[in-house]
């Protein structure tokens, strides 16, 4: 956990499952109770199970609390897919994805555009 101005950045790594869900929920709730905006950084989360997802959702049960939270998407498909499959991605604000210029396609030998 780090502080960036008024915002608390909660960085999660590895697996967000039954083993750590309670601790994650506690940290998020503590900062919400203090009215602190939070960036929940999921970029290094490789796996989320239902208890991990529930910890995030239950830590901010009201729209006003969720308004203090911004989530950074995981780099791993499974973690992001769980939010989409359950519809919980509609409950939270996610950080804007960085726009990237499309790389030109290369031919089969990699020497240039196709």
Structure confidence at residue 104 (pLDDT):
40
pTM of the predicted model, to two decimals? 0.78
Strands 38-48 and 69-72: parallel
Q: Which two tokens stand for residue 49?
A: 């199970």
Structure confidence at residue 108 (pLDDT):
42
What residues contact 102, with CB distance under 8 A and at least 6 apart?
A: none
Mean pLDDT by 10 residues, the chain (114 residues): 78 96 94 92 96 96 93 93 94 75 41 43
Structure confidence at residue 5 (pLDDT):
72
Structure confidence at residue 21 (pLDDT):
96
Question: Residues, the chain, total?
Answer: 114
């Amino acid at each position: 956990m780090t502080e960036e101005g008024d915002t608390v950045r909660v960085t999660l790594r590895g697996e967000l499952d039954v083993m750590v869900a309670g601790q994650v929920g506690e940290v998020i709730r503590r900062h919400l109770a203090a009215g602190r905006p939070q960036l929940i950084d999921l970029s290094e989360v490789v796996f989320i199970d239902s208890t991990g997802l529930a910890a995030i959702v239950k830590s901010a049960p009201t729209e006003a609390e969720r308004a203090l939270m911004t989530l950074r998407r995981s780099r791993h498909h499974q973690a992001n897919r769980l939010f989409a499959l359950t519809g919980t991605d509609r409950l939270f604000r996610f950080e804007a994805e960085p726009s990237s210029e499309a790389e030109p396609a290369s031919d089969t030998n990699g020497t240039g555009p196709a």
